[in-house]
Homo-oligomer: A and B are copies of this chain.
Amino acid sequence: MARNNPKAVVIFSGGLDSTTVLYHAINQGYAIHALTFDYGQKHKIEIDHAREIISLNRNIIHTIIQLNTKLFLSSALTGHGTIPKNRQNINEYNIPVTYVPARNLIFLSIAVGYAESHNINDIFIGVNSQDYSGYPDCRDDFISSFEKTANLATKSGREGSTINIKTPLSKLDKKDIIIFGKNLGVPYNLTWSCYDPIVDNRGIYHPCMDCDSCILRENGFNNAGITDTIHV
């Protein structure tokens, strides 16, 4: 990698979407600073997957950020309530109980602080049209309002070195994301999606296959005509 490649922050969970974004940013020639958040998610196993994916790529600077889990008291995703199973209406325009209060607002804000500290202008996040239907902090109007706010919040933004929030998946559904990522060489077998993993008696994690995230993933692979090797 050339020394003068532009740098980018990638918000990276180890999931299907953010891993696709990571590989897209690598493909675009960025020097990558990946940020992974530990916020008390039930599916903390995704952080191990994030580490494994990073280990395949040289020169990525990877930081895992611990957040006080008390912040996210009211989400089923952090253990307060039950994760819904076998939902028929995943794509309806309503906000599910797995919504984590202000999660992307917090992740993006921390990414902005990190970016400004490292003279980075571009921040990538894997929000997409499938999330968009449910989570308010994945929608285009939030992202564009956040970008404006971030530039008012920062010295760099005020002085003309604009912070850009890049959402390369924003118009794609799961099927399109998988096809896009396959062409970039994304190791989908290493990505983790399940909200509510099952641990077997050997301590190995398996996706539940019934939560919204598992269902969206399975439908995405089926519609793309690609086998999801995570299950093998």
Q: Decide: A102 and B150 in contact? CB cutoff 8 A.
A: yes
**In chain A, residues 55-78, which have Cβ atoms closer than 8 Å to a Cβ of chain B?**
63, 65-68, 70-75
Cβ–Cβ < 8 Å partners of A74 in chain B: 116-118
The residue from B65, B108, B141 contacting A68, defined by CB atoms under 8 A apart: B65
Q: How far is the CA of A104 from the CA of B141 in the complex (A)?
A: 22
Interface string of A99-138 (1 = CB under 8 A from B): 1111111101110111011100000000000000000110
Q: Decide: A99 and B150 in contact? CB cutoff 8 A.
A: no
Copies per complex of this chain? 2
Q: Tell whether A172 is near chain B: CB-to-CB under 8 Å.
A: no
**Given A142-B149, A145-B152, A113 and B117 contact (CB-CB distance below 8 Å):** no
Q: Decide: A101 and B72 in contact? CB cutoff 8 A.
A: no
Q: Which of A10-18, A154-162, A178-186, A217-225 contacts B (4 or more CB under 8 A)?
A: A154-162
Given A95-B158, A95-B159, A145-B149, 6 extra CB contacts under 8 A: A65-B71, A102-B110, A102-B153, A106-B109, A136-B153, A137-B154
